[in-house]
Every structure is written in structure tokens, then in C-alpha cells.
Amino acid sequence: MSVATCSEPVLRLAAEWLADCVGQHTKCAEKFNPLFHPTRLMTIVGKNGTRIVKLLETNSEQVSPPPPYIALSYCWGQGDTVKLLSNTYEPFSSQGIRLDQLPRTMQQAIDLALYLGMQWIWIDALCIT
């Protein structure tokens, strides 16, 4: 099996693990609350080459009922990174962010979300001020 994070065998294995967890693990099902959702989520829109993520407040009518999503929380490192600030809130929510403007880690998490059939992702740097 290839060890590359976004290789087809690794993505397929992640999808199998998720399906097994959701469908077979009693303890996971007990902790799962389909009505819980974070305050903000990023929606993934567009096609390859023109794909963007847009910030949405989850208490709005645009996000009802709460959609399935995946989460990415990671160490941002020392350099500048794209993040939600008071001056980026409006452009993140109205125009969105092109994937090629995001760090590779975020791009890979978005690819994983799409592979798993999800249009929504929570990324700490993009959803927490």
C-alpha cells in the first residue's frame, strides 16, 4: 500500500474505517449527536480548478439541518497561514477562498472530505477567531 496521504488506497482505507465506525461501533454511535454542530463551517463549492471554500455561520438558514462534516485541527507552524481574523471574515464568507491559496495540509483535508462524500469541513484556522 502506498503511504502517500492522498493515494487511492489510503483514501479508500479511511472511507472503510469511517463506514465501520459509523455503522458498527456502539460506543461511537452513543457519542454521536447529529444535532451538534460548531458555530462555523466551511462549505466546499465548485469543480476541480475552480474549487473554493466559503465560511458559513451554522445557525443560519443556509446550514439547516446540521450537515455531516470532517474536522482538521493542527499545529499551524511558525510562518504566516491563512486564518480567520476580523478583517478576513467578510471575504471568507462572501467570496470564499480558492484552494490554491490554502496550505497543502488544508487542501488535503478538503480532498479527503470530498472523497468521503462530504461538502463541509471545519478547519480551526478558518473557523475560529
Are residues 123 and 68 part of one domain?
yes
Measured distance CA(95)–CA(127) in Å, rounded: 15
Domain count, the chain: 2
Are residues 42 and 28 part of one domain?
no
- Can you give the pTM of this predicted structure? 0.84
- Please give the residue range of the domain that contains residue 25: 1-32
Are residues 94 and 43 part of one domain?
yes
Are residues 120 and 110 part of one domain?
yes
pLDDT at 62: 66
Are residues 117 and 82 part of one domain?
yes
114 contact partners, CB below 8 Å, separation of at least 6: 44
Q: Tens digit of pLDDT for each residue in 15-63?
A: 899 888 888 888 877 766 667 788 899 999 987 778 999 999 888 766 6
Arithmetic mean of pLDDT, 55-74: 81
52 contact partners, CB below 8 Å, separation of at least 6: 44, 45, 46, 95, 96, 97, 98, 99
